[in-house]
């Protein structure tokens, strides 16, 4: 389990592309299920890998409502931003059975859903995603009621983070102070360095488990030049964000503009399809469904991701509390950017840009916030 980095001088080493392959193999040799970015169905998604099956030389072009793969012209393994998947699909599963019950005569037996830790190793986790995982940790394990399903996957997970070498067109992690440089919550962190002479990765150690693994790999200590080059990579990424939030107190801005006409405008575009919440790496809401068989002998309860954009989500006796799309969009956006603070002490947004890219009609949370901010200055 990753620890916050210690105050001692961080250890930095260099590994080669072959070293990266050996890293994956070492994780697998420890019985870990290694999940990493791979190209599938016209996008970069997260899936199991056996070896170095990363998207080599591939990048993505992202805009509001648009995503496209392209060739980079080099052999970079991490030369893209985040895609439609996030790590929550492994930690906070889209659907799972909570329990099943069976009746035999007058006896009813209830059996809790099996918890099967997958012993994950996540490779290629970005700074915004580490922040998102930390946010879900707070929500799902940080209070009095711990979600055992989440905890089982999270506790054992080994994290190999990557500093972003490229900002996506919809990225705004700098505004949310969530990246692009990873600072904590990892076992190992890589920065990809490609020059005429070499293709290497600068490795930072974030935990004893990370140090122990790195000790097995062929490596050399990083030079001052290597460290400088790695710093230049994240600085360049930070300077090329595709989007920005207004530079002001966003929670206060939104909460004093709950009746702003802009909400009506965005509601005319919003499809209430829930794509933004499904791709959001911090959205955690679920609903439960009860099932029974025809004979009335067996029944079960399943849990699956839900969204504040559905009518059912706010349904109580008498109807939905948020029947209009306006009220649902406003609920979502103010929760992400304002009321999350009151509830959990942080933003619920990490600036990954997924909600912008994967909105079928390209609604942009930064543009909506900017519009409200600009109207106050007009």
Partner 1 sequence: METRKPRLAVWKFASCDGCQLSLLDCEDELLAIAGAVQIAYFPEATRGEVRGVYDLSLVEGSITTPHDVERIHEVRRRSKTLVSIGACATAGGIQALRNFADVREYMSLVYAHPEYIRTLETSTAISENVHVDFELRGCPINKSQLIDVVSAFLAGRRPNTPTHSVCIQCKLKGNVCVMVAKATPCLGPVTHEGCGALCPSYDRGCYGCFGPKETPNAPSLSGWFASMGMDSKALQRIYRTFNAHAEPFRKESERHDAQDRKG
Least distance (Å) between residue 137 CB and partner 1: 22
Least distance (Å) between residue 119 CB and partner 1: 20
Q: Say how far apart CA 269 and CA 109 lie, in whole Å.
A: 49
Helix (H, G, I), strand (E, B) or coil at 24: helix
> Which lies closer to partner 1 via its Cβ, residue 214 or residue 279?
279
The token pair that represents 115 in the structure block: 């918890």
Q: Say how far apart CA 375 and CA 378 lie, in whole Å.
A: 5
> Which lies closer to partner 1 via its Cβ, residue 65 or residue 246?
65
Q: Which residue has the tokens 């933003």?
A: 347
Helix (H, G, I), strand (E, B) or coil at 134: helix
Q: Say how far apart CA 220 and CA 214 lie, in whole Å.
A: 11
Instruction: Enumerate binding residues for partner 1 (CB under 8 A).
Output: 40-43, 45, 65-68, 84-85, 89, 94-95, 268-275, 278-279, 289-296, 299, 304-305, 307, 309-312, 323, 325, 357-358, 360-362
Q: Which residue has the tokens 């500093």?
A: 163
CA dihedral 119, 87, 127, 273 (to 10 degrees): -170
> Which lies closer to partner 1 via its Cβ, residue 45 or residue 134?
45
Q: Say how far apart CA 262 and CA 328 lie, in whole Å.
A: 14
Q: What angle do CA 79, 4, 8 make, to 5 degrees?
A: 100
Least distance (Å) between residue 44 CB and partner 1: 9
> For residues 318-356, b (16+ Cβ closer than 10 Å) or e, as one string?
eeeebeebbbbbbbbbbbbbbebeeeeebbbbbbbbbbb
Residue partners of 107: CB distance under 8 A and separation at least 6:
none
> Which lies closer to partner 1 via its Cβ, residue 149 or residue 181?
149
Least distance (Å) between residue 323 CB and partner 1: 8
Least distance (Å) between residue 326 CB and partner 1: 11
The token pair that represents 208 in the structure block: 């004893």
> Which lies closer to partner 1 via its Cβ, residue 43 or residue 140?
43
Least distance (Å) between residue 268 CB and partner 1: 7
Least distance (Å) between residue 12 CB and partner 1: 35
The token pair that represents 213 in the structure block: 């693994």
User: What DSSP string runs through 140-186?
Assistant: HHSSSS--HHHHHHHHT-EEEEE--SS--TT--TTTTT--SS--SS-
Residue partners of 256: CB distance under 8 A and separation at least 6:
none
């Amino acid at each position: 389990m990753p620890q916050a980095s210690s105050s001692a001088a961080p250890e930095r080493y260099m590994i080669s592309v072959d070293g990266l392959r050996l890293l994956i193999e070492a994780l697998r040799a420890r019985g870990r299920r290694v999940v990493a970015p791979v190209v599938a169905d016209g996008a970069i998604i997260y899936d199991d890998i056996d070896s170095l099956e990363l998207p080599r030389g591939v990048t993505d072009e992202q805009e509001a409502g648009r995503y496209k793969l392209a060739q980079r012209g080099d052999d970079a393994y991490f030369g893209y931003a985040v895609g439609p998947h996030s790590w929550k699909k492994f930690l906070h599963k889209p659907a799972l059975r909570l329990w099943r019950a069976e009746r035999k005569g007058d006896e009813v037996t209830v059996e809790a859903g099996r918890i099967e830790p997958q012993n994950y190793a996540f490779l290629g986790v970005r700074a915004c995603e580490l922040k998102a995982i930390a946010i879900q940790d707070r929500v799902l394990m940080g209070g009095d009621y711990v979600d055992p399903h989440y905890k089982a996957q999270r506790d054992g997970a080994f994290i190999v983070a990557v500093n972003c070498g490229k900002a996506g067109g919809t990225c705004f992690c700098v505004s949310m102070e969530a990246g692009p440089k990873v600072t904590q919550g990892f076992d190992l962190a890589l920065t990809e360095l490609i020059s005429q002479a070499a293709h290497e990765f600068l490795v930072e150690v974030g935990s004893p488990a990370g140090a122990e693994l790195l000790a097995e790999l062929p490596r050399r200590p990083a030079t001052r030049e290597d460290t400088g080059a790695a710093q230049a990579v994240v600085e360049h990424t930070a300077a090329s964000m595709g989007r920005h939030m207004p530079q002001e107190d966003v929670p206060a801005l939104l909460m004093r503009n709950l009746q702003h006409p802009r909400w009506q405008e965005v509601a005319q575009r919003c499809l209430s399809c829930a794509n933004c919440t499904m791709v959001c790496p911090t959205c955690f809401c679920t609903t439960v469904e009860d099932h029974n068989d025809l004979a009335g002998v067996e029944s079960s309860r399943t849990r699956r991701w839900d969204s504040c954009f559905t009518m059912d989500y706010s349904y109580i006796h008498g109807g939905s509390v948020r029947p209009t799309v306006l009220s649902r969009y406003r609920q979502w956006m103010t929760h992400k950017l304002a009321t999350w603070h009151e509830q959990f002490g942080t933003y619920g947004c990490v600036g990954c840009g997924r909600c912008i890219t994967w909105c079928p009609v390209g609604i942009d949370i930064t543009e909506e916030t900017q519009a409200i901010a600009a109207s106050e200055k007009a």
